[in-house]
Amino acid sequence: MNPHKPDQPIGIFDSGIGGLTVADAIVKQLPQENIIYFGDTAHLPYGDKSATTIQAYSVKIAEFLLQRQCKMILIACNSASTAAFELIKEYIGKQAIVMDVVDPIISLLREQYANKKIGLIGTRQTVSSNVYQKKIEDLKQNIRLTSLATNLLASAIEEFGNGRAIDGLLEEYLSHPTLKNLDALVLACTHYPIVKNKIAKFFDHKMEIIDPSDTVAKAVKKRLDDLKLLNLEGPGKKHFYVSDYTESFAAGTKIFFQDAITLEHYPLLD
């Protein structure tokens, strides 16, 4: 028997506004779903923290989302996905479905990018965890991956959005030799789609940019559909929480979801 009900919310979390790129894609594909979003702005950025620290934050957020009766917890952050997905799945057990943002991209690469040379940019945690590298090797599809940690980018996007201040950073990171002669580039940090147009422009629109948002939303839809847990009675309600109130988060939610949002401060006590 399925212990969950379709009208229970989908819980989504990230260190800040990054996961909104995924939340936005989910709302577009599944407008009936109720969404609870948690941005751990008090602990941002995650990408420079140790895996153990990210795991501790992720467990607290998962507990918070469970208390709010989420049927699914989506780790909409690559740093937390690579550090804490296995742990959170074990911790949550059958209380909710747990999904990450890595596996949907691995499936996409398996289906469409065999024998290609793929670049990846992400946080230090995401790149040094080697999770993408290992999962891609396991596919045995002759996909050659080169990864670059673009450490300061997520914090800069959190602060400046898609503004001009980002241009210099992108120039510095994207001109790295690691990113030469690729077939496609994976944006392996959920903050990066916010500056996708700038990244595409840097490569003169000649590089294929893999923005995971829609792929992840599609995977969420399929999983809920398979489990007969799609909410058919809309419209869905959206509720946003942050562990620290920041102007940039409030501004970010407005860009994605206009004014129709409820934003609450919920401190995650250490």
CB of residue 124 to ligand DGL, shortest distance in Å: 8
Pair type for strands 35-39 and 10-14: parallel
Place of tokens 């779903």: 33
CB of residue 135 to ligand DGL, shortest distance in Å: 16
Nearest to 188 by CA among 232, 153, 141: 153
Distinct helix (H) and strand (E) counts, the chain: 11, 10
For position 78 contacting ligand DGL by CB under 6 A, the verdict is yes
Backbone angles phi, psi at 32, to 5 degrees: -80, -15
72 vs 189, beta carbon nearer ligand DGL: 189
77 vs 199, beta carbon nearer ligand DGL: 77
Q: Between the CA atoms of 154, 157, 158 and 161, what dihedral angle is there, to the nearest 10 degrees?
A: -160
Catalytic residue from among 74, 77, 102, 229? 77
Catalytic residue from among 23, 185, 189, 219? 189
> What is the total count of residues that contact ligand DGL (CB under 6 A)?
16
Binds ligand DGL by CB under 6 A, chosen from 8, 126, 150, 213: 126
Is residue 189 part of the annotated active site? The answer reads: yes
Nearest to 22 by CA among 33, 36, 32, 12: 12
CB of residue 97 to ligand DGL, shortest distance in Å: 20
Angle formed by the axes of helices 103-112 and 213-226, nearest 10°: 100
Dig out the tokens for 14 from the structure: 């990230």
Binds ligand DGL by CB under 6 A, chosen from 22, 30, 77, 99: 77
Place of tokens 């153990």: 52
Is residue 77 part of the annotated active site? The answer reads: yes
Binds ligand DGL by CB under 6 A, chosen from 34, 58, 123, 215: 123
Residue ranges that bind ligand DGL, judged by CB under 6 A: 14-15, 18, 44-47, 77-79, 123, 126, 154, 189-191
